[in-house]
Amino acid sequence: MKRTALLLALASLAAGNAAQAQVGTLSNIASVSLNATQPSVLTVTANTPSASIASIAPNAATPFAPAVNVTTVWNLTGGASVQLVGYFASTNALTDGGGNNIASARVEGRIGAAAFQPFTGNAVGGAGTAGASLVLFTQALGALSGTRTDDIQLQLNYAGQPAPAAGTYTGTLNLRAVVQ
């Protein structure tokens, strides 16, 4: 009888230990590799597709209307600044198609209260045309992603000069952002 009681006690203890071993048992580790890519982004959108002057004033600066609204967006992996460069394809910014031109030096631009500057600079980081470019803003990259929206004011400056020959002049201002 003692032997049976002892065997029953040992069997009960073994069953309890087996149940406890089941509760704390861990499986192998299965691993899943995850990948996500966010490509660098640098875009410029001209929200104002055109601006015009009804009549060019001689011996004065005449503004284009409306101001050109532009949004620049970036999400980058590096760089110190973003620059917005405005430029014409050549130093002849506008033409009447009959041989009369308005030089890029006569077209001036600015953002905010800065002084108007002519489009006479050189390309910046591959953006622009020699003698027909202007850096409109330089934004330091405190963060590698950002957005800014600006109004670019443009004018034709014929101060001290007669107006160009009569005609309708057209041209294209190109805008491009560059990371420096």
The pLDDT of residue 50: 97
Three-state SS annotation for the chain: CHHHHHHHHHHHHHHHHHHHHHHCCCCCCCCCCCCCCCCCEEEEEECCCCCECCCCCCCCEEECECCEEEEEEEECCCCCEEEEEEECCCCEEEECCCCCEEEHHHEEEEECCCCCEECCECCECCECCCCCEEEEEEEECCCCEEEEEEEEEEEEECCCCCCCCCCCCECCCEEEEEEC
For the domain with range 41-50+57-179, which CATH number is right: 2.60.40.1090, 2.60.40.1220, 2.60.90.10, 3.40.50.1000? 2.60.40.1090
The pLDDT of residue 142: 87
Q: What is the mean pLDDT of residues 133-154?
A: 96
Q: Show me where the domains of the chain are located.
A: 41-50+57-179
- Is the per-residue pLDDT at 15 higher than 70? no
